[in-house]
Structure 1
Amino acid sequence: MNKDQLNRMHAGKGFIAALDQSGGSTPKALSVYGVLENSFSNDEEMYTLVHEMRTRIIKSPAFDSEYILGAILFENTMDRKIDGQWTADYLWEKKNIVPFLKVDKGLADVASGVQLMKPIPNLDDLLTRAVERNIFGTKMRSVIKEANPDGIRDVIEQQFRVGLQIFNKGLIPIIEPEIDIYSADKEKSEQILKDEITKQLNALDKDVKVMLKLSIPTKANFYSELISNPHIVRVVALSGGYSREEANEKLAQNNGLIASFSRALSEGLSVGQSDDDFNTVLGTTINDIYKASIT
């Protein structure tokens, strides 16, 4: 594990850029960017177009380590290059931005009010490749739809079980049990979630480190005990369906909680923009998310 990257993630000022839409959400991400489905005829062409979009974001002068601590990639991006360097190496060596990898394979169907992660076949092989590619950490997502104590416990137990496997490979896992922002009992789910996470943290060996990616809580600073827990490198927040403006506003009320926005980061970017326009829009977005993250 890279100690410089660990220190940067733990103590640096800024936020994490989530560039990890995967197969299912890729056509949607491309169409928002102005690349329509008739522009590609197979997955390979689609992923090439997505890599061009991500490369443009990463190479932009606005995508700067003064504001951005880390970036989450998905597997296809990890296995591609920017200017002859593997994407993770380019991020760290050229940009001083810490690379993460999304490792989950999507969500199972709703049961007990939650969506667990689908099984992740060949996870060990993927983690070995991630270490070879100089990835620092990973990210995996589950979703909580209602305040069902059994379901939420299952989500957290699964996340920490897989998280430990990841940590033992020398990577820092980002554990992401998202609570649906439209859930009728969101606040109740947050209480159960916090209790279950605390239980799991208390059971860890003292050298184990993890990160958390959580929905912005209903009550400001509700996760402050988690943020200060010695096992936690950082707690980051997802935008979760809020508009960027609303997500920033809510985030700013939570001290020490930083953004890890995906859709909110690329809002307003388009393939047809001149580089100047593209960089200006991205720069404004990054600046706004940064300001909300350093409260």
Structure 2
Amino acid sequence: MTASTVPEPPALPLLGPAEIRALAGRLGIRPTKTLGQNFVIDPNTIRRIVAAARLGEAETVLEVGPGLGSLTLGLLDAAEQVVAVEIDPPLAAQLPHTVERYRPGRADRLTVLQEDALRVQELPLEPTALVANLPYNVAVPVLLHLLARFPSIRHGLVMVQEEVADRLAAAPGTKVYGVPSVKAAWYAEVTKAGTIGKNVFWPAPQIASGLVRFVRRAEPVADVDRALLFGAVDAAFAQRRKTLRASLAGWAGSAAAAGEILATAGVDPGERGEKLDVHAFARIARAGADAGVTAGVRGG
């Protein structure tokens, strides 16, 4: 038998609908909207997510909201270590047992933290990638918090509500471009990597999901204070119909001061925030800092 005809080893088992529901039944768990729980029940979707994440074998992956472990098993097949952050105590307690059952030789490569991902400040390992099915209700703040807190995360793939995926990857001047678009672009190059249908989840959400791929920038956008820039972004999009001179008045101290800062930054004071990319906002923040603006960040 030649090398070209050697069959590939069979794929390791992943959790399907029957396994997910049986496991949830044993634990007495029903998915809750409060925690944004929609469990993936389709093994092919897990394989698709893991493949799209483009993980290296030596990587340490941070997973948020592992739930019953569908994606966790797939990540353990592709990476060296997985750090799973789960807010729900019964799910956090069960996950190591699930991995021990389905991946007995890899259980020591899983670390589970029972924490709120929005508040986690330290991890036992340094993650190089983030791959997660993020809860819809906190997806953007969780993503921004983790990118800010853990600079070792170089790339990743997250599954979010499709509308949120479109916003995160939006370009300036498009209808869905806004605060999440600019803030995500501060950290990384962000692209949409596909759409996931509703029926691969239990319970099925009312809308489709989107995959968002990101690669952290090798160098910062600019040598400016991130909080100052994010404050300008929040102000610029607070009322989308306002000109930048008007919308940045509170951030700058007055409309006149905003106009001067915008002129210094080379930005038309009559322009609107949705037309500017992150580099333009960086120029505004730098000009604001030179003018003595000290406004902080609001909302993440």
Normalised TM-score (structure 2):
0.29
Larger-Rg structure: 2
Q: Which has the higher contact order (CA 8 A, sep 6+)?
A: 1
